[in-house]
Structure 1
Amino acid sequence: MARKSFDLIVFDWDGTLMDSTATIVKCIQAAAKDLGLLVPDRKAASHVIGLGLAEALQMALPGLEAHLYPRVVERYRYHYLAQDQDLTLFDGVREMLADLSQQGYFLAVATGKSRVGLNRALHATNLLSVFDATRCADETFSKPHPAMLQELTRELGQDLKRTVMIGDTTHDLQMAINAGATPLAVDYGAHPIIELNALQPVFTASSVVQLHAWLNDNG
C-alpha cells in the first residue's frame, strides 16, 4: 500500500529522542562558570541546542574573545561526558522507532551532536542498527542550513518532498523548510511551543506517544 505522505522520517536527537535538554543547559552554564564568564540563563542556553557545539557556544556566550571558545568547548565536554551515561530516551521512543522500522520507513538522524557524540549515544541506547543514515554537525553545515537533509536524501535515494523532519527547536524546523521537507515539531524539548508554531509545522506533538500516533495516521 502506498504511503500517504512520507517515505523518510528524520529525527533530531537531543530534546526529541533523548531527554537531554536540561543536562545540556547545565553543562553550558557550568562551562561558563568554570572560566569565570557571565553564565547564560536557561532560555539563552536552551535556545542554542541543536546547533553545532562551537556555533552554539558562540551564540550562548556572545562577544567572547575567539581564543577562549576552545576552552569553553573543552569544559562543556568535560561536564557532558561526566553525565551522558545517565541520559535516557523519552518514554515511547524505542517502541516508536521499532514500529516505524517494521512498517518499512527509512529512518535517519540529523543532529547538532558531533559524530563521536552521536555514536556514543547510539551505542549506549542500542539504536545503531535502527537508523538507515545519520548526519552530524561536524560533518557538514550546521542547522538551519539544509545540507543535512539534502545529504541524507541523496544517500538513501529519497525525495525531500516525501521527507519529514522532526525536532524540538526552530533550528530543526527552519532546516526542514530550507530543504523543502515537511517540518514537524515536538514541544517537550528545548524551544517553547510559541516559537515552534510560528514556523507553521504540519503538527506539534506534546509527547512521543502523540508523535507516534500522528505518524501512523498521516505517514
Structure 2
Amino acid sequence: MTRPLAIFDIDGTLVDSRGSIFEAATEASRALGLPEPDYDRVRKIVGLSLPVALRELEPLLSDADLTRFVEAFKAVFLRMNSDPDFHEPLYPGAIETVRRLHRDGWGLALATGQSRRGVARNLAREGWADLFLSSHCAEDGPGKPDPAMLHAAMAACDAEPATTVMIGDTSHDVMMALNAGVLPLGVAWGFHTVEEQQAAGARHVAQSFSELSVVLDGFAALTKAA
C-alpha cells in the first residue's frame, strides 16, 4: 500500500517570510532607482521563481536590468541572512503538524520557489532534515506553476498523484498541483487570499493547522480505503 505524500510549500505556508520578502523587494527596487512597490504587488509574485517573479513586478525592465534586479534582491537576502539576529518564524502549529504527519507514516517533501540556498537554510532548522524525504526548488528546473517539482517529489518519494497532496498559500501552488494531478490544498495565513486560492481551484483552504490536519486525516483515510 502506498503511503500518502504531503508536499509543502515553505514561504507563507510553513515559514512567515512576509516581512523579509517585502523588505528585499523594496531595497532591490531602491538599488535600481525603481519606485518602491507596495505590499499587495509583492505578495502576488511570491512562489514564482525569482526572475519570473521580478519580471512580473517590473514588466518593462530590459533583460540586463532584470538581471541587476535579481542580483540586488539576492544580495539583500544574503545580507539579512548573515545577521545573527535574522529570524523568519514558523507559523503557529507548523512544526507540530509536520512532526505528527511524520509519526503517522506520511511521506513529506518540500516544493518551493526559494533558491537551493534558501532550502538548505530551512532544512538546517532543528529537526527538519529528518522530517522531509526530498526537497525541490525552482533552481532544479521549471518553477511554479509547472508541475516539474511535484513530479520530482513523487518520483523521489515513490508516490502516485492519487495519494499526493500539495499544501501551499498561493494560486501558483494550486495551479502547480492541478497541473500535476494532485490534490491542491491552501492555507489562509500566507501571501494569497482565500478567494484567490479558491479561484485558482483549491479544494480546501484551511484557516489553521488544526483544520488542515483534519483535512489531511480525511485524505489519508480515503487513500487507505481505495
Range of TM-score over shorter length: over 0.9
The alpha-carbon distance between structure 1 residues 162 and 217, as it changes in their structure 2 partners (threshold 3 A), is: closer
Matched, 1:97 2:98: yes
**Which residue is 2:142 aligned to?**
141
2:154·2:160 contact (CA, 8 Å) conserved in 1? yes
| Secondary structure of the structure 1 residue equivalent to 2:12 | coil
Say if 1:18 and 1:90, in contact at 8 Å, map to a contact too: yes
Query: 1:20 maps to which residue?
Result: 17
2:56 corresponds in structure 1 to 59
Q: Which whole-Å CA distance do the structure 1 matches of 2:125 and 2:163 have between them?
A: 30
Q: Does 1:50 align with 2:47?
A: yes
Deviation at 1:216, TM superposition (A): 2.7
Q: What SS does the corresponding residue of 1:164 show, helix, strand or coil?
A: strand
Amino acid at match of 2:52: E
**Distance in 2 between residues matched to 1:35 and 1:200, nearest whole Å:** 36
- Residues 1:170 and 1:125: Cα distance change in structure 2 (over 3 Å): farther
Question: For the structure 1 residues 211 and 82, does the alpha-carbon distance in structure 2 shift closer, same or farther, using more than 3 Å as the test?
Answer: farther
Q: Which moved more, 1:11-20 or 1:68-77?
A: 68-77
Q: Give the counterpart letter for 1:116 in structure 2.
A: R
Residue in structure 2 matched with residue 36 of structure 1 by the alignment = 33
> Is the Cα–Cα contact under 8 Å of residues 40 and 61 in structure 1 kept in the other structure?
no
Deviations for 1:166-197, whole angstroms, at most 9, x for unmatched residues?
Answer: 00000000000011000000111111111111
CA distance in 1, matches of 2:161, 2:19: 32
Q: Deviations over 1:49-107 (max 9, x none)?
A: 00111111111111101111222122212222333431111111111111100111000
Stretches of structure 1 lacking an aligned partner (at least 5 in a row): none
Residue 121 of structure 1: aligned partner: 122
Query: Normalization by structure 2: what TM-score?
Result: 0.90
Residue pair 2:175, 2:201 contacting (<8 A) in 1 also: no
C-alpha RMSD over aligned residues: 1.7
Deviation at 1:134, TM superposition (A): 0.9
| Offset of residue 125 of structure 1 | 4.4
Partner of 2:185: 184
Secondary structure of 1:33's aligned partner: helix
Please identify, of 135-144 and 78-87, the stretch whose mean Cα deviation from structure 2 is larger.
78-87
Query: Structure 1 residue 168 and structure 2 residue 169: aligned?
Result: yes
Query: 1:54, 1:69 within 8 Å by CA — same for their partners in 2?
Result: yes
Residue 69 (structure 1) aligned with residue 66 (structure 2)? yes
